[in-house]
Structure 1
Amino acid sequence: MKWPAWWCRLRETLGHVSLVLGAFLVVTSLTLTPSSADYLPLSGAEVANNVAEIRIQNDGIHIQLEIYVGDAQEFAELIPDEWFETDVTDRPDKDERLVVFAEKGLTVRREDGTALPVRISRIEPLTRIDRTTALTGQRDPMTGREFPKPPDDPRVVFAELFYDFEDNRPDVVEIAPPTNPDGTPGATIGFVTFDRGVPVANFAYLSGPARLKIDWSDPWYSRFANPNLRRHHQSGLTTYLYVEPRELRHETLIRVRDLDDWLDLGLSPGQHLSSSDQQKLKSNASELLARRNSVLIDGEPTAPASYRAELLTITTAGLQVVEDTNTINVDEAFLGVILSFPWRDLPESVSVHWDMFSDNITSVPTTAIDAAGPFLGGATPDDPNIKWRNHLLKYEDPVIAPVPVAGAGRFPLPVLSLIASAIALGGGVIALRSRGSARKVAVGMVFVSITGAVLLWDVAKVDVRNPMQHGPEPADATAAFAALLRNINTANLEGSREDRDTALASLTTSSSRSDVAAEVNRALALRVPGGGVARVTDVSELMLEELSPLENGFGFRALAAWTVRAHAGHWGHTHRRLVEHRALVEIVEEDGNWKLDGLTVIEARLPDA
């Protein structure tokens, strides 16, 4: 049997050891994009040549290792005999090789220095998982440094390794990479660590022994000794105050296990919540947080108009909402609760009196977020008030404005000048038929009327539609739809479906009001995880195709295409969306303004999707 040439070339780096593959398998890659991630790692360890995902369980430590083909010699003890093309009779057997690897390869040791035994659960050739982010390969504008990118060659040896506790769980372990004789790392390894599903540390480089203290009662408190090895989300309870147009929101992110202090849930470590348990928890926790932590808006006690909750987990890409159909481990579960306070204008001040402290929670990180940016703070039993004050000097409240019909299709009619001209015409007829003094009066009337018609030409003009034209010029049609689209985006700022429908009423004809509002709510109100509608910050690439005038009345129908950028914040992170829309629109003149008489969104997609 002949093996692929790319594996044969490894002979030069492995000396007498020649690694080869009998098959090449393609796996589905996991892509982290800016639209799905709210945390972007800066170290670049997630795209290192070799990547280790370390997971601590009750019986031992499971490591999924991706070995870059160019570094295979550093992990030669793991390679099966059957992958070799040459004679391997002199090679130590598998058990002997794994003993060497446990001592000198990717090692996991107890606090006394004893290496945990390792076995291979799975090994095969694959392509590396795509962990690139928005920063991968880009240049930092501040430092000029280029963020790392993965090797051009995506081929890896994928190994699942198990380091056995042998029924003796250690409180401390030390994880170390293969090392050279001079003590330097033998291979570049990026690693991430989870303890029973809970992230312990973000992706970082395993450049030497990393000491990890394991908290078997609660994995949230497991820690590396190196303070640089930690997860991006540190606190088990954080609270946020969002001050936005039309709505103020008080949002809280709390560990499910910490809720036990107030709800007496009776949770045990490692317990899984069923779908029905999740619904009950969300309902009870939402009601609890709606009652606690009183809110003052402009000095007045204010109760939330509505509230909602989601269960989440913290991943290497940030917060992820858990689908109701999935069970969830209470050790890694967070509850995010959103309390909504509709508010027509931006208030002058907001204050939240935080009253949920416990033995485990003695301080609460807080963030107030408005148009000027996030403002960090904290609440403690001695200073429990979270405050925001309006210091925005250039804020403009978004409002819906009528879109008047103008441009082609209408012309100004000088009403008074035309009346004077008619009088002059009548005076001329009288002058032709009269004699004597009557003719003189008629001539004088003609002279005065003509003079008045000239002087009144620019006075009291009224726009009149051209009866010969049934639709606007393309530029005017595009401008009209762009203005209506801006108004739709403003209407979508409203916090409830009812308020959005009311705001849309002024943009639609009476006959199509409910249909257009339903279509806007279905396809143009961009939902984000955690509920709510994203705020559109930019509309670009707007075009009208297949533009045609209406047969009856004045207006047009067209196939519209445009792209929106939108964002929404929840629990301290921002969801960003870039969406391309295509829709059939019908727009008519009503009471001198452009209004939507028909809207059917036929496509809403992410670019390149």
Structure 2
Amino acid sequence: MLLVVTLAASAAAHPISITKSLVYVTQDRVTVHIELFVEDLFLFHDLKPNDQDFFEPQVIERGIEKHEPFLLERFVMRDSHGEPLVGRTIRIDRSDLPTEGVAMAELMAYTLTFVMEYPLDRPPEFLTFSQHFADGRLLVPAEMQLNVQQEGAGTPYQEVLYPDAPQTVRFSWDHPPLAADASEEQLQAWYERQKEQMLGITSYSAVYSFFYIEDHQVRHEILIPLLTLDETVLIARADDSFLEISEQDLAAEQIEAFFRAGNPVEIDGVPVQPVIDRVDFYGLDFRDFAVRAPRARVSMASARVGIILSYPTQGTPSTVQVTWDRFHRYLRSVNMVVFAYEDTQRVALTRIGGQNVYRWQNPGRPPAPPLQQVDLVLPPRPMWSLSLVSLALALLIPPVVWYRPGARYRGPLLLLLIGAAIATWPLARWQLPRPFAGTPQLDDDRAAATLAALHRNIYRAFEYRDEEQIYDALAKSVDGPLLRELYLEIRRGLVMQEQGGAVSRIREVEIIEGEKLPPSRIPENLDPRSFVYHCRWTVAGTVEHWGHIHARTNEYRAKWTVQPRENAWKITDLELQDERRVSFETSLRRM
């Protein structure tokens, strides 16, 4: 049973209808009890008292007949698809009314109770409540104190419901809210479970703002109720209650223009224009906002819009400033969460007192080191080191041996020449390549270090956001046709299909094991200084949007061919032999 208690109070100049609601929902129906003062009949239906300021019974009955469809029409509950629930009045309790009628001065002394029932075809996961008791023709302010009670739950949901300001409530039938006397530990455990299930997005009427500061990009992600945007962005649609698929492209353009012209960002003191990465429309049953939402008709009362604006940076920024200026009469403040690298901070931005600016100062984080090519360094070729003096003396020995007339002096002269050649051996050295020595090759340790440096460069290239910058960085370590092939292969490995094709950021690359293949296994057509390295490695990447993180680790096994190219080592071929998923998990960013 759903009990809605309507209490009306009036002031002499400005009457007001104030509604206090208790909403109790079962798995197969919602029963609504609306209790209201007789004054509401006068406020909303312009009942006329007689000449003695007295409302006769037949006048009150006529007001009751008008108020029954009024409540069914203007107190609205919608399901997760935005469709209104259809109810019927099952009884009206008039027992508090005097039989002779009610005097004008006593309209607030008597109450009526309307009982309505709304059948459900399945247990609801979401219900969106709205009230439209006051419209443009009525000057009667109307507020409702909404209290939603779920069957089997101890703690109701409470909120003030203003005209045309819907509130959405989620119902968990497996783990309903705990009783009011539950321990703090039980309540905290229940709340954390709900938060994990909803990936941190727990309110359906709040504006969520997430501001990311990274080395090559600043990103502003905004999740905002569609009806909140409708206050300032003229969203054209045929049906006030729904935004059709055919209307969403134009709506996205309007929303893009609205945010492109507002919420300015400065990086290192320079205004930077945003790149609109996406504008998506989400229904109530959509939870993982890192995934692109499928195009579907959405309800204006409960849908949300996700906008991602990115601002390129030239490396590590020194200062970043954002100003939130997209307020309106209902949106007076925004709670923004700032993720500056590994630090997290909550910031309250408000239109009051100029407190709508957030400024970040680099606390001393150094810029990322520039990506450098791996220089061509080889072991020196085997050389002979000879003494020119010794060689000259040694060349005199054969003539002395062959000179016959001087046989008597031959022995001493030979000894003199040999001794002099030995004595002068350290003098006037001459380096001569050793004949028949092979081409210098990297040993196993140097080959492993060279491949590790090239491997690290390849993945660091994907820290850049611009495709041209990625290609330029890759070209420092990759050569030939492999450049484009490797770009596409690694980018494919970074795409998370389970996240709608989002490209993950690389967090860690680790070579687990590797070995340099023997020269006999190197193709003969390669430069003899080349080497082939077989290794196994893991890549950990993340996709992060709206405060939650999808982390994935993949493992690869491949053969890399490395060759000298203009005084640098470069990868010229890759043979990918194996690829497998190691882990995938989702978590929330923590303060």
Cα offset, 1:361, TM superposition: 0.8
1:565 aligns with 2:547: no
Give 3-state SS (helix, strand or coil) of 1:411's partner. coil
Cα offset, 1:242, TM superposition: 1.7
Q: Structure 1 309/211 Cα, relative in aligned 2: closer, same or farther at 3 Å?
A: closer
- Retained in 1: the 8 A contact 2:126–2:284? no
Cα offset, 1:589, TM superposition: 3.2
Look up the match of 2:379. 411
- Retained in 2: the 8 A contact 1:584–1:601? yes
Q: Structure 1 426/564 Cα, relative in aligned 2: closer, same or farther at 3 Å?
A: same
1:421 aligns with 2:421: no
Give 3-state SS (helix, strand or coil) of 1:450's partner. coil
Q: Equivalent of 1:194, from 126, 130, 139?
A: 126
Q: Equivalent of 1:282, from 230, 248, 252?
A: 252
Look up the match of 2:554. 579
Q: Structure 1 288/317 Cα, relative in aligned 2: closer, same or farther at 3 Å?
A: closer
Look up the match of 2:563. 588
Q: Equivalent of 2:373, from 380, 386, 402?
A: 402
- Retained in 2: the 8 A contact 1:295–1:302? yes
Q: Structure 1 194/253 Cα, relative in aligned 2: closer, same or farther at 3 Å?
A: same
Cα offset, 1:398, TM superposition: 4.7
- Retained in 2: the 8 A contact 1:261–1:358? yes
Identity %: 22
- Retained in 1: the 8 A contact 2:389–2:428? no
Per-residue Cα deviation, 1:525-553 (whole angstroms, up to 9, x for no partner):
66885876322222346345895433322
Per-residue Cα deviation, 1:146-167 (whole angstroms, up to 9, x for no partner):
xxxxxxxxxxxxxxxxx98435
Structure 2 CA distance for aligned equivalents of residues 171 and 344 of structure 1: 65
The Cα RMSD (Å) is 5.2
Give 3-state SS (helix, strand or coil) of 1:287's partner. helix
Q: Structure 1 351/430 Cα, relative in aligned 2: closer, same or farther at 3 Å?
A: same
Structure 2 CA distance for aligned equivalents of residues 316 and 587 of structure 1: 47
How many residues align structurally?
Answer: 429
Look up the match of 1:494. 464
1:385 aligns with 2:357: yes
1:63 aligns with 2:27: yes
Structure 1 CA distance for aligned equivalents of residues 515 and 128 of structure 2: 55
Structure 1 CA distance for aligned equivalents of residues 538 and 129 of structure 2: 38
TM-score (norm 1): 0.57
Structure 1 CA distance for aligned equivalents of residues 425 and 516 of structure 2: 49
Look up the match of 2:332. 362
Letter in 1 for 2:356: P
Structure 1 CA distance for aligned equivalents of residues 417 and 218 of structure 2: 73
Structure 2 CA distance for aligned equivalents of residues 316 and 387 of structure 1: 33
Cα offset, 1:397, TM superposition: 0.9
- Retained in 2: the 8 A contact 1:411–1:466? no
Letter in 1 for 2:438: P
Structure 2 CA distance for aligned equivalents of residues 259 and 451 of structure 1: 89
Per-residue Cα deviation, 1:250-309 (whole angstroms, up to 9, x for no partner):
3322222222233200456651431x4333333332233122122222222222356433
Unaligned runs of 5+ in 2: 1-23, 36-84, 92-112, 118-122, 131-145, 172-176, 181-186, 195-200, 401-411, 585-591
Structure 1 CA distance for aligned equivalents of residues 500 and 323 of structure 2: 24
Give 3-state SS (helix, strand or coil) of 2:252's partner. helix
Cα offset, 1:446, TM superposition: 7.3
Per-residue Cα deviation, 1:341-361 (whole angstroms, up to 9, x for no partner):
222222211111221001121
Cα offset, 1:503, TM superposition: 0.9
1:239 aligns with 2:212: no
Per-residue Cα deviation, 1:18-63 (whole angstroms, up to 9, x for no partner):
xxxxxxxxxxxxxxxxxxxxxxxxxxxxxxxxxxxxxxxxxx9673
Q: Structure 1 208/402 Cα, relative in aligned 2: closer, same or farther at 3 Å?
A: same
Structure 2 CA distance for aligned equivalents of residues 404 and 291 of structure 1: 47
Give 3-state SS (helix, strand or coil) of 2:488's partner. helix
Cα offset, 1:521, TM superposition: 2.9
Look up the match of 1:127. none
- Retained in 2: the 8 A contact 1:550–1:557? no
Per-residue Cα deviation, 1:359-388 (whole angstroms, up to 9, x for no partner):
121001112222241111021113121211
Cα offset, 1:448, TM superposition: 5.5
Look up the match of 2:522. 549
Unaligned runs of 5+ in 1: 1-59, 65-101, 113-162, 175-190
1:166 aligns with 2:88: yes
- Retained in 2: the 8 A contact 1:365–1:376? yes
Give 3-state SS (helix, strand or coil) of 2:426's partner. helix
